[in-house]
Amino acid sequence: MTTKKNIGIKGLLLSLLFPLAINAQQKATVSVLPSADSPVINKNIYGHFSEHLGRCIYGGFYVGEKSTIPNTNGVRNDIIAALKELGIPNLRWPGGCFADTYHWKDGIGPKQDRPTMVNQWWGGVTEDNSFGTHDFLDLCETLGTEPYLAANVGSGTVKEFTDWVAYVNHQGKSPMSELRKKNNRDTPWGVKIWGVGNEMWGCGGNMTPEYYANLFKQYSTFMTDWNNSDKLFRIASGANVADYHWTEVLMRDIPRNLIEGVALHSYSFVEWEKKGSSTQFDEAQYFKTMETALKMEELVTKHSEIMDKYDPAKKTALVVDEWGGWYEVEPGTNPGFLYQQNTMRDAMIAGTTLNIFNNHADRVRMANLAQTVNVLQAVILTENDKMLLTPTYHVMHMYKVHQDAKLIPVKFTSPEYKLADKSLPALSVSASEKDGKKHFSIVNIHPSQTMTVELDVKALNLKNASGRIVASGKLQDFNSFADPNKITEKEFKDFKLKNGTLTVTLPAFSVVVIEAK
């Protein structure tokens, strides 16, 4: 029989043991398997997204040429400098849902003569078209990044679409090239990456995949490469999360010579209808968010398997051109502007998602974080003349070493992060090599336990190493305008390289990148 005294002793023992359990370390062994057949991690996996949504463009990127905030042709100089340092390989514009209501000719010519429109998708605000094709493509030139134009299929025409292609790409004499020259741009920009509509299963027109596949073939047929050099990279509007039938139809019905990429959209959240606060969340909400984030592994695997059936040579890329965390907007802000803060939870989403993309580099060859400035999982936030870099920015900055590097496959069994009756892999790893350097990006998503990771790197013959880390005291920590550097990259030294084993000790909820040679 259990006495009250025994219950008291048991409770005391549990209270003493629980902190030890929280601080206990878990261990994992990672086999590093270099292979001559490994794919290159396409730099375009590290792409970004800029939609006419909330304060992404206006009040974010673009403040206007007359602004007192230092700018180049109306675009903030501090944002230009930050994105140059980040090394963004491509930038998607103008949407998103906005793309299928956007008529590009409204955004060219003298700004005072441009017509206005109502942004029906995002807040019902009036769009004055002061940031248009020239502004965006000139910005991409300044950044040294590849433009990705998402064009209007939902409410546009084939002629409108192909006129845009000619306007930005045609070198010779034609109505569209003459119009471009009239607008003070003699040489074409040579835009290669084109989205043929966006979310055609939803805001792009609520279409069936069979109907859209036929539309795509029509638009793709009339897209001419006016550069007469490299082919255009035509991306079909792809599946919403686990809609595998959508991918099946596109791959089955669209000939390989008409398509270069199939898109996929998937966001991370607590619950779709009740997304929760971006900063005030408990462990259960964190667990649910990471559960949807790590679902990306399954999505990429299953969509790739369908693509492999029709395209075993992997000529068509899987393009995850919208991904990231999605929560309720910050209190007091316009619900249609999707402005949210960015915590260590978002650093976990970024680190694990990019590791998944790296490890699937044979098929995933482009992706776009949603979005760049002031919207969803942004890398930059602004407030009047102030600007800050989010934890997601710092993770992507550490990870830029993987761009165009050769994948080094890894194999391991992850320790578990358990909560109630569910569990998630606590560890995420990817590795690559470039210019004689090897990089290992490692994420520990566990909110309370340290992770010791032993990487067997004997085959790489490494001699020395250094490290960087993104970490903080609480999962809910974020950079504010009052404290913009609360979370930054820091030097990381809690590792050792000895006898062909790289032993790394990761704090709870941290992202580490080790460089070795």
Q: State in Å, rounded, how far the first CA of the chain is from the last one.
A: 63
Q: How far lies 55's CA from each of 116, 125, 338, 384, 477, in Å?
A: 17, 11, 9, 11, 23
Residue 11: the pLDDT is 40
Please give the Cα distance from 361 to 364 (Å, whole number).
5
* Active-site choice (127, 322, 433, 489): 322
Q: What is the DSSP string of 222-267?
A: H---TTSSSPPEEEEEEEETT-HHHHHHHHHHS-GGG-SEEEEEEE
The DSSP bridge pattern shows strands 416-419 and 422-425 to be: antiparallel
What angle, rounded to 10 degrees, do the helices at 133-143 and 158-169 form? 40
Please give the Cα distance from 467 to 477 (Å, whole number).
22
Residue 2: the pLDDT is 35
Closest listed residue to residue 52, CA positions, set 158, 126, 139, 147:
126
Alpha-carbon dihedral sign for residues 110, 116, 121, 123: positive
Radius of gyration of the chain (CA): 24
Cis upstream peptide for 371 (omega within 30°): yes
Q: Give burial (CB, 10 Å; 0-12/13-18/19+) of 515.
A: middle
Residue 226: the pLDDT is 63
Q: How far lies 373's CA from each of 1, 49, 342, in Å?
A: 63, 9, 11
3-class DSSP assignment, residue 191: coil
Closest listed residue to residue 233, CA positions, set 198, 195, 190:
195
DSSP code, position 323: E
- How many CB atoms are closer than 10 A to CB 497? 17
3-class DSSP assignment, residue 15: helix
What the block records as the tokens of 319 is 């393009």
Kindly list the structural domains of the chain, giving each domain's residue range(s) and its CATH number in brackets, ordered by start: 22-37+409-516 (2.60.40.1180), 43-403 (3.20.20.80)
What pLDDT tens digit does each residue of the chain (517 aa) get? 333 333 344 343 333 333 333 456 799 999 999 999 999 999 999 999 999 999 999 999 999 999 999 999 999 999 999 999 999 999 999 999 999 999 999 999 999 999 999 999 999 999 999 999 999 999 999 999 999 999 999 999 999 999 999 999 999 999 999 999 999 999 999 999 999 999 999 999 999 999 999 999 999 999 977 665 568 999 999 999 999 999 999 999 999 999 999 999 999 999 999 999 999 999 999 999 999 999 999 999 999 999 999 999 999 999 999 999 999 999 999 999 999 999 999 999 999 999 999 999 999 999 999 999 999 999 999 999 999 999 999 999 999 999 999 999 999 999 999 999 999 999 999 999 999 999 999 999 999 999 999 999 999 999 999 999 999 999 999 999 999 999 999 999 999 999 999 999 999 999 999 999 9
Please give the Cα distance from 373 to 411 (Å, whole number).
36
How are the residues of the chain apportioned to helix, strand and coil, as percentages rounded to the nearest 5? 30, 25, 40
The answer to whether 299 and 240 have CB atoms below 8 angstroms apart is no
Please give the Cα distance from 370 to 337 (Å, whole number).
13
Residue 306: the pLDDT is 98
What the block records as the tokens of 40 is 């290159």
Please give the Cα distance from 161 to 222 (Å, whole number).
9
Four-point Cα dihedral 250, 254, 259, 261, nearest 10: 10
Closest listed residue to residue 392, CA positions, set 427, 433, 443, 333:
443
Q: Is 199 noted as a catalytic residue in this protein?
A: yes
Burial 366-403 (b: 16+ CB within 10 A, else e): bbbbbbbbbbbbbbbbbeeeebbbbbbbbbbbbbbbbb
Q: What is the DSSP string of 194-229?
A: EEE-S-TTTTTT---HHHHHHHHHHHHHH---TTSS
* Active-site choice (51, 127, 146, 199): 199
